[in-house]
Amino acid sequence: MAVPNLAMNAIPAVQFDAELIRKLTQQGPRYTSYPTADRFNGNFGVGDYLQAVNSVRAMGARNPLSLYVHIPFCEHLCYYCACNKIVTKVRSKAEVYLTYLKREIDMQGKLFEGMNTVEQLHFGGGTPTYLNDAQMGDLLAHIRKWFKFATDDAGEYSIEIDPRTVSAARIRTLREQGFNRVSLGVQDFDPDVQKAVNRIQPEEKTLEVIQAARDAGFRSISIDLIYGLPKQNLITMNQTLNKVIAANPDRISIYNYAHMPALFKSQRRISEDELPSGETKLDMLSLCIRRLTEAGYVYIGMDHFAKPDDDLAIAQRHGRLHRNFQGYSTHADAEMVSVGVSAISAVGSTYSQNDKTLEGYYERIEQGELPIVRGTKLSLDDVLRRIIIQMLMCNFELSIRSLELAYPISFATYFQQELAKLKELEALGLLKLDSEWLTVTAKGRLLIRNICMVFDRYLNMPQEIKLERMKYSKTI
């Protein structure tokens, strides 16, 4: 693939056009994968995954690994949360889970023997810091028995943290255990908003954890925020932004709260009367973009902002940015091996997902097999469209010429139907299109999901053969 136009990407810009957003917002995938996870099927099993690993080995195993570990437990229920989690204060459940998790790691470790160098590790959940120091240390030691890790300066080793669950001493221990990046869930600093979503998190506690991470030598500190929560308004959002900007994190993610109580039971505890209107949400998004860009953050894409000297911003400028199930990543070529309940792996030209229930997860491991219950093998068409969507999501442009050199297609012929839709988006000012390049404009960057949806074959199937769709969140 061609190197992106670095002059254009040197200072990524985004333009907020409220009228255009109102006109075009719709439900659509976030494209952490293509095909998206709702397209996975139960016909894909352990045998297909083993075949994918063997294919990677046969090709010389040139790529490093990205390892994801899912810790599903939380001590408290946050009403907005749509993650796969288990809310419990019964700590013995974590001990049982770790026993099975280590057995899955054993199986994956044997499969990847000889091609087991890890350059990226991510602990997600749930709340990974639900585990205590001893449990975390033991789990990491077990992982290191099977996998070789790149040096601290070369590897990216991150963990999601609930600031309510850690002390400054715990932060230092996590750094000593090998983590060099930390992501903190904040959501909102306003006490009334916190009460409405059942996440009471004092500002002082969050700032203490941020400072502790700096003192401990973490390479990157990220903060997660949500707009559209109950009792939020422009005033409270601006006050939260003041505090976040003053805290000076390296990365900031601002997610749009998707209220889908039919799908997520915990959201039924949120009073819909207290949710901000659609117009207010748009105003909050505009405020976030303006405040963060004025504060010097670069708009990476989707919900992500980063300092210009952060690895994400650097990777984007050099065309090395990637997108996977954890969001944006700097390790584009890594095979992704995921362990734990509900975890999704991306190995070779396949996706595979573990059982979503503890009972099913445990039962399959007891049978001595990987707990994979569904997935998909990518066709050549899937691979081609995945590349296009990745390039657009990460770099906001696509070299048509490079795509035609890499694949035996004529872009204008192969994507004849898509080009008609792209012309419509071009007329609206979302992109520029010629025979050589598809370039997303500053207006189009916020609506990048809409542009990518043009290339999603599954969304554009005739109604009678279209696969059943899950209810996606709105693109804005």
Provide mean pLDDT across the span 23-41.
91
Both 98 and 165 in one domain: the answer is: yes
Q: Quick check: 187 and 197 in contact, CB under 8 A?
A: yes
pLDDT of 326: 75
Q: State the DSSP H helix or E strand holding residue 193, giving kind and residue range, or none if neither.
A: helix 191-196
Q: Is the peptide bond before 230 cis (omega within 30 degrees of 0)?
A: no
Count of other CB atoms within 10 angstroms of residue 423? 11
Task: For residue 280, say whether it is annotated as part of any ligand binding site.
Answer: no
Both 387 and 271 in one domain: the answer is: no
Task: For residue 295, say whether it is annotated as part of any ligand binding site.
Answer: no
Task: For residue 257, say whether it is annotated as part of any ligand binding site.
Answer: no
Give the DSSP letter of residue 227: E
Which amino acid is residue 298, in one-letter code? V
Task: For residue 82, say whether it is annotated as part of any ligand binding site.
Answer: yes
The residue among 339, 358, 388 that closes a domain is 339
pLDDT of 468: 47
Both 15 and 66 in one domain: the answer is: no
Q: State the DSSP H helix or E strand holding residue 298, giving kind and residue range, or none if neither.
A: strand 298-301
Task: For residue 155, say whether it is annotated as part of any ligand binding site.
Answer: no
Task: For residue 247, say whether it is annotated as part of any ligand binding site.
Answer: no
CATH code at position 3: 1.10.10.920
pLDDT above 80: residue 83: yes
Q: State the DSSP H helix or E strand holding residue 6, giving kind and residue range, or none if neither.
A: helix 6-9
Q: Quick check: 203 and 189 in contact, CB under 8 A?
A: yes
Number of structural domains (the chain) is 2
Task: For residue 309, say whether it is annotated as part of any ligand binding site.
Answer: no
Task: For residue 199, say whether it is annotated as part of any ligand binding site.
Answer: yes
For tokens 């949400």, name the residue: 281
pLDDT above 90: residue 464: no
Both 30 and 135 in one domain: the answer is: no
Both 231 and 110 in one domain: the answer is: yes
Provide mean pLDDT across the span 357-374.
97
Both 285 and 163 in one domain: the answer is: yes
Please tell me the distance from the alpha carbon of residue 338 to that of residue 105, in angstroms, as a whole number: 9
Q: Could you tell me the pTM of the whole model?
A: 0.92
Please tell me the distance from the alpha carbon of residue 253 to that of residue 228, in angstroms, as a whole number: 14
pLDDT above 50: residue 184: yes
Question: If pLDDT is split at 50, 70 and 90, which confidence band does 324 have?
Answer: confident
pLDDT above 90: residue 84: no
Question: If pLDDT is split at 50, 70 and 90, which confidence band does 1 have?
Answer: very low
Q: Is residue 359 part of a domain?
A: no
Provide mean pLDDT across the span 117-145.
96
Please report the DSSP string for 153-166 in residue order. Answer: TT-EEEEEE-GGG-
Task: For residue 313, say whether it is annotated as part of any ligand binding site.
Answer: no
Q: Is residue 344 part of a domain?
A: no
pLDDT above 60: residue 11: no
Both 335 and 400 in one domain: the answer is: no
Q: Is residue 390 part of a domain?
A: yes
pLDDT of 103: 98
- To the nearest 10°, report the CA torsion of 201, 310, 213, 117: 110
3-state secondary structure 377-394: ECCHHHHHHHHHHHHHHH
Q: Of 254, 328, 248, 255, which is closest to residue 296 (Cα–Cα)?
A: 248
Task: For residue 452, say whether it is annotated as part of any ligand binding site.
Answer: no
Give the DSSP letter of residue 468: P
Both 279 and 316 in one domain: the answer is: yes
Task: For residue 344, say whether it is annotated as part of any ligand binding site.
Answer: yes
Q: Quick check: 287 and 16 in contact, CB under 8 A?
A: no
pLDDT of 4: 45
pLDDT of 10: 42
Q: Does residue 375 come out as left (phi exceeding 0), alpha (psi in the -120 to 50 range) or beta? A: left
Both 41 and 31 in one domain: the answer is: no
Task: For residue 288, say whether it is annotated as part of any ligand binding site.
Answer: no
Average pLDDT value for the chain: 92
pLDDT of 302: 85
* Least confident segment among 163-177, 423-437, 453-467: 453-467
Question: If pLDDT is split at 50, 70 and 90, which confidence band does 474 have?
Answer: confident
pLDDT of 476: 74
pLDDT of 334: 85
The residue among 339, 366, 394 that closes a domain is 339
Q: Quick check: 356 and 341 in contact, CB under 8 A?
A: yes
* Least confident segment among 84-88, 220-224, 373-377: 84-88
pLDDT, tens digit, 9 for 90 and up, residues 251-308: 999 999 989 898 889 999 999 999 999 999 999 999 999 999 999 999 999 889 999 9
Please tell me the distance from the alpha carbon of residue 12 to that of residue 6, in angstroms, as a whole number: 10
pLDDT of 462: 65
Both 256 and 303 in one domain: the answer is: yes
CATH code at position 294: 3.80.30.20
- To the nearest 10°, report the CA torsion of 166, 172, 174, 175: 150
Most trustworthy range by pLDDT among 292-306, 351-365, 453-467 = 351-365
Question: 439 pairs with which residues across the strands?
Answer: 397, 432
Angle at 77 between CA 71 and CA 79, to 5 degrees: 120
The residue among 321, 339, 357 that closes a domain is 339
Which amino acid is residue 388, in one-letter code? I
Query: Can you read off the two tokens belonging to residue 391?
Result: 């390039």
Enclosing domain of residue 395 = 1-35+379-463
Percentage of the chain beyond pLDDT 70 is: 95
pLDDT, tens digit, 9 for 90 and up, residues 42-62: 999 999 999 999 999 998 878
Count of residues for the chain?
476
